[in-house]
């Protein structure tokens, strides 16, 4: 059912289209979007009463922080989340510890202090920087409490499948959302794309990049899991391939893992079984499984990866039980329900955060995240280990407001791992601590747009910075 270019719909046509959309779910995306190029946009002249001031698509850590901040700043705010959980990779992806630091006074501090309030384990500092150990189950509850306390409305199991733009204009007039009740339309004055995948931006026609420059390949996917019944008095931890930790035999643990991989006792490309603490003693959180050459925007690739990674979990547990002291009686406690996706689209913004920016620690007059810090952590897109031998150390850098503003879509802001940056810069700012602060910045900018009836590209960065400072965020050293 190809749609003509520049479709101008009447309300009746539009509703007919929406009713038919249940059937459209069965059509290829190209047909829904009006041609194999996918370039024709659904458009309308029908003004719509906004359902919310700010609509946040995606309830990962960036989306939750954006929504809570926008609501705290007085905006009527709605989250649309395709799964049954809030927190994204933190919860459904079962990712631990929270890594990445930013300047003092951000929403990261608030979340960390709530998540660690009853921890049995201490926050540690390794080559990864500050490692905040969490209980993923507690994080699931916290995410719901956080949005509810701040009067953010949330639609769960609500997948944004397309956008309708203003006819001839560049703004998103409404979002088409697949919900358990059927397809619905939702509109907002400002939309924040916090999907991790830059899905809304892509649907709205924004430019984006994906993967490394040389061949477009992305970082591998992983399914993380937690073990219980670990003997805390004997069990090692290991934060990565460079961790010098040794086994009682005196052999370096990372070398032992490599040998096991060569013998086929660990999955292909799994050269290190990372063993992190959780909030509780006697547990370890394992980041080890790995599948390369997966495009997690393709549903069939997601099946392939999940199938393989679930079996990899069993193989890693067998390895730990057989060889590593303290793990003999460990039990697989929990694992991710969603595929752990490190990298998909990076939406092109007014500014692209560069390799150099994270390497030298660039500072910007329009910084909305200050002193972001994490390694340039590129899990090898085409094999095991790190892409650059050893992850490079970044210097504390700023993220400018321009990285959150895609030039081609008038009422859209980007938050989280899909903001504008290079493959290598993304490998640093993609961690959760930094994504939380990006979310806070996006929520602040969105609420100011609503108050001033302005588009993001008309917003004064000085006003956004002033509003962040008023929230207690430090934006200068
Ligand atoms: C295996 C792995 C290990 C990692 N290790 C660490 C670590 O140790 N420490 C650390 O800090 N970071 C780590 N990271 C990185 C970090 O977890 C993520 O980059 C970060 O959580 C991204 O947050 P986000 O909110 O931008 O996106 P996400 O967490 O991906 O959230 C996006 C949300 O949007 C929803 N969504 C997507 N599309 C739609 C749509 N069309 N409609 C509605 N909803 C939609 C999704 O369901 C999801 O809830 C790791 C990542 C992976 C995959």
The least confident of 339-353, 383-397, 406-420, 452-466 is 383-397
pLDDT score at 136: 97
Full DSSP string of 280-338: STT-EEEE---B-S--TTSHHHHHHHHHHHHHHHHHHHHHHHHHSTT-TT-EEEEE-SS
Q: What phi, psi does 133 have (nearest 5°)?
A: -80, 140
Mean pLDDT of 348-374: 98
CA–CA gap between residue 445 and residue 252 (Å, rounded): 48
Q: What phi, psi does 215 have (nearest 5°)?
A: -145, 10
CA–CA gap between residue 94 and residue 358 (Å, rounded): 27
Check pocket membership of 447 for ligand 1, CB cut-off 6 A.
no
Using DSSP's 3-state secondary structure scheme, residue 160 falls into: strand
CA–CA gap between residue 173 and residue 426 (Å, rounded): 30
**Position in ligand 1 atom list of the atom nearest CA 438:** 26
41 — pLDDT class (breaks 50, 70, 90): low
Check pocket membership of 384 for ligand 1, CB cut-off 6 A.
no
Check pocket membership of 403 for ligand 1, CB cut-off 6 A.
no
| Residues 79-114 pLDDT 10s | 999 999 999 999 999 999 999 999 999 999 999 999
Cα-to-centroid distance, 22 and ligand 1 (Å): 28
**Position in ligand 1 atom list of the atom nearest CA 222:** 1
Residue 362 has pLDDT above 50, yes or no: yes
| C-beta separation of 212 from 381 below 8 A | yes
Mean pLDDT of 293-316: 98
Q: Cα angle at 110 between 109 and 116, to 5 degrees?
A: 85
Cα-to-centroid distance, 247 and ligand 1 (Å): 33
More reliable by pLDDT, 382 or 18? 382
Helix-strand-coil split of the chain, %, nearest 5: 30, 20, 45
Nearest to 411 by CA among 444, 453, 352, 439: 453
Structure letter (DSSP) for residue 106: S
Check pocket membership of 377 for ligand 1, CB cut-off 6 A.
no
Q: What phi, psi does 361 have (nearest 5°)?
A: 80, 55
Residue 470 has pLDDT above 60, yes or no: yes
Structure letter (DSSP) for residue 457: G
More reliable by pLDDT, 162 or 19? 162
Cα-to-centroid distance, 352 and ligand 1 (Å): 20
169 — pLDDT class (breaks 50, 70, 90): confident
Residue 40 has pLDDT above 70, yes or no: no
Q: Where are the domains of the chain?
A: 18-48, 52-215+343-470, 225-335
The least confident of 17-31, 104-118, 396-410, 411-425 is 17-31
pLDDT score at 42: 78
Q: In the chain, what percentage of residues exceed pLDDT 90?
A: 87
Mean pLDDT of 404-426: 97
**Position in ligand 1 atom list of the atom nearest CA 439:** 25
pLDDT score at 3: 28
pLDDT score at 14: 34
Mean pLDDT of 39-55: 76
Check pocket membership of 413 for ligand 1, CB cut-off 6 A.
no
Fold entry, domain 52-215+343-470: FAD/NAD(P)-binding domain (3.50.50)
Structure tokens at 217: 């390949």
| Residues 175-211 pLDDT 10s | 999 999 999 999 999 999 999 999 999 999 999 999 9
70 — pLDDT class (breaks 50, 70, 90): very high
| Residues 176-186 pLDDT 10s | 999 999 999 99
Check pocket membership of 82 for ligand 1, CB cut-off 6 A.
yes
| Residues 316-349 pLDDT 10s | 999 999 999 999 999 999 999 999 999 999 999 9
CA–CA gap between residue 445 and residue 231 (Å, rounded): 48
| C-beta separation of 404 from 438 below 8 A | yes
pLDDT score at 167: 86
Strand partners, 452: none
Check pocket membership of 416 for ligand 1, CB cut-off 6 A.
yes
Residue 368 has pLDDT above 80, yes or no: yes
pLDDT score at 47: 67
Check pocket membership of 156 for ligand 1, CB cut-off 6 A.
no
Residue 393 has pLDDT above 60, yes or no: yes
């Amino acid at each position: 059912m190809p749609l003509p270019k520049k479709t101008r719909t009447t309300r009746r046509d539009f509703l007919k289209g929406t009713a038919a959309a249940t059937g459209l779910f069965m059509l290829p995306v190209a047909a829904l979007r009006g041609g194999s190029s996918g370039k024709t946009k659904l458009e309308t002249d029908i003004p719509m009463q906004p359902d919310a001031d700010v609509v946040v698509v995606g309830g990962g850590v960036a989306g939750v922080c954006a929504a809570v901040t926008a609501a705290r700043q007085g905006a009527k705010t709605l989250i649309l989340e395709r799964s049954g959980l809030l927190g994204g990779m933190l919860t459904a992806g079962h990712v631990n510890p929270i890594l990445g630091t930013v300047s003092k006074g951000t929403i990261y501090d608030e979340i960390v202090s709530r998540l660690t309030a009853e921890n049995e384990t201490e926050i540690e500092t390794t080559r990864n920087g500050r490692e905040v150990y969490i209980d993923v189950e507690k994080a699931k509850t916290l995410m719901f409490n956080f949005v509810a306390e701040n009067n953010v409305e949330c639609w769960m199991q609500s997948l944004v499948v397309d956008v309708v733009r203003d006819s001839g204009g560049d703004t998103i007039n409404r979002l088409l959302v697949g919900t358990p009740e059927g397809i619905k339309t939702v509109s907002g004055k400002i939309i924040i794309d916090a999907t991790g995948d830059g899905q809304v931006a892509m649907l709205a026609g924004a430019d984006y990049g994906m993967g490394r420059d040389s061949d477009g390949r992305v970082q591998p996917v992983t399914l993380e899991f937690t073990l219980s019944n670990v003997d805390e008095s004997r069990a090692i931890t290991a934060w990565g391939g460079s961790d010098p930790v040794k086994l009682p035999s005196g052999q370096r643990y990372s070398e032992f893992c490599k040998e096991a991989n060569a013998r086929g006792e660990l999955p292909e490309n799994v050269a290190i079984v990372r063993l992190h603490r959780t909030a509780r003693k006697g547990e370890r959180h394992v980041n080890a499984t790995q599948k390369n050459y997966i495009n997690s925007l393709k549903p069939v690739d997601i099946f392939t990866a999940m199938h393989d990674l679930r079996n990899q979990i069993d193989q890693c547990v067998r390895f730990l039980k057989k060889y590593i002291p303290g793990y003999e009686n460990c039990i697989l406690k929990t694992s991710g329900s969603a595929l752990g996706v490190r990298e998909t689209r990076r939406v092109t913004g007014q500014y692209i955060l560069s390799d150099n920016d994270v390497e030298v620690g660039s500072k910007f007059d329009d910084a909305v995240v200050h002193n972001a810090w994490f390694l340039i952590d590129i899990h090898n897109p085409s094999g095991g280990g790190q892409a650059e031998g050893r992850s490079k150390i970044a210097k504390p850098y700023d993220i400018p407001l321009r990285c959150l503003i895609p030039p081609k879509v008038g009422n859209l802001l980007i938050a989280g791992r899909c903001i504008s940056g290079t493959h290598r810069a993304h490998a640093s700012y993609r961690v959760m601590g930094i994504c939380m602060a990006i979310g806070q910045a996006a929520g602040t900018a969105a609420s100011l747009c609503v108050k001033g009836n302005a588009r993001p590209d008309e917003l004064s960065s000085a006003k956004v910075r002033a509003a962040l400072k008023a929230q207690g965020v430090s934006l200068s050293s």
